[in-house]
Amino acid sequence: MKIKYELMKNAIALTTSASLTITASAQSEIRYAREKVDGLDIFYREAGNPDRPTLVLLHGFPTSSQMYRKVLDGLKDEYHLIAPDYPGFGMSSAPGAEEFTYTFDRLAEVVDTFLEQKRITEYTLMIHDYGAPIGFRIATAHPERVNGFVIMNGNAYEEGLGREGWGPIFDYWENHSPELGEKIAEQVFSLEGMEWQYVHGTKNPESINPDNWIIDTQRITRHGQKEIQLGLFYDYRNNVKLYPKWQKYLREHQPQTLIVWGKNDAFFPEAGAEAYKRDLNEVDYHILDTGHFALEEEGDSIIRKIRAFMNDNDVD
């Protein structure tokens, strides 16, 4: 039985995926739903015809699937797109850190199970920020399912970790103290900290929609979020340990890859994009004069590049 709640303004439709029937008219719309995964409600955005090539959109910190709103709208005419919120992010379930193990291993397991439950077993991965360690875990577990990558400031190399953005977290890896955690939380999780992540390195800061950091701040200041997010900051060190494994995967499987990278990113500088060329024989490579959230300022250009990449490489 379809369960659907409609709000008269700013509508968000929540439906059970098992009963979601996608009509021809619905394929031209962005759909909003939840999937029950391991007892969690995983919120996701979906667009396009599921019979067409699928692009799985994996978001970064501190945001959610809303960061891909332009991609969903811009490519829904030709592709099937799906963007889940991880546990603890966006509108997905956010159990406390004492109830759920917030590690990148666990987040990847949930996303992998989500895709399997949705019967999505062949796809291109678009990865940004936290989406990279989640996406590469899925790719190395199921290399036969991944047709290619769209990499947007999603890192897999030590030189791609910028000291300007990561400095306090590097210190946290060495000194995992409550005092340092509190200091990081005060800086990073503040409204000013959220805004800085969006506008730093952009050509026109006034063009960046402030709804982005206002929404992110509201979510990250919810009860229990500090413990969740600090736990993931600390666990990120385990991603670095897996970089050699991911690089080996790239060398052996040579997935078709498009790189669209904001070069002024304080967290993942251009060196991280350049490093992929060591392991991939061919890369559709584009460095953009913008910051960490490249879609905010270069969305139209990136969408055109994704369409050309998918078409030119017959990614299906």
Round to whole Å and give the CA distance between 34 and 91. 9
Evaluate whether 290 touches 264 at the Cβ level (below 8 Å): yes
Q: Are strands 40-47 and 30-37 parallel, antiparallel or unpaired?
A: antiparallel
Check 59, 128, 200, 292 and give the catalytic one: 292
Evaluate whether 283 touches 273 at the Cβ level (below 8 Å): no
Tokens of 56: 């799985």
**Residue 312's pLDDT band (cuts 50, 70, 90):** confident
pLDDT in tens, 199-258: 999 999 999 999 999 999 999 999 999 999 999 999 999 999 999 999 999 999 999 999
Per-residue pLDDT at 8 exceeds 80: no
Q: Are strands 123-127 and 54-58 parallel, antiparallel or unpaired?
A: parallel
Tokens of 262: 């904001």
Break the chain into its structural domains and give their ranges.
43-312
What does the pLDDT read at residue 27?
A: 64
What does the pLDDT read at residue 28?
A: 72
Which pTM value belongs to this model? Answer: 0.91
| Gyration radius from the chain CA atoms | 18
CATH class, range 43-312: alpha beta
| DSSP assignment letter at 5 | -
Round to whole Å and give the CA distance between 141 and 284. 24
Query: What average pLDDT score do residues 17-22 get?
Result: 44
Round to whole Å and give the CA distance between 144 and 70. 28
Of 277, 280, 181, 279, the residue nearest 232 (C-alpha): 181
* 292 given a catalytic annotation: yes
Per-residue pLDDT at 6 exceeds 80: no
DSSP string of 132-183, one letter each residue: HHHHHHHHHH-GGGEEEEEESS---SGGGS-HHHHHHHHHHHH---HHHHHH
pLDDT in tens, 178-215: 999 999 999 999 999 999 999 999 999 999 999 999 99
Per-residue pLDDT at 7 exceeds 90: no
What does the pLDDT read at residue 17?
A: 42
Question: Helices 191-199 and 211-220, interaxial angle, to 10°?
Answer: 140
Round to whole Å and give the CA distance between 95 and 256. 37
pLDDT in tens, 26-82: 567 899 999 999 999 999 999 999 999 999 999 999 999 999 999 999 999 999 999
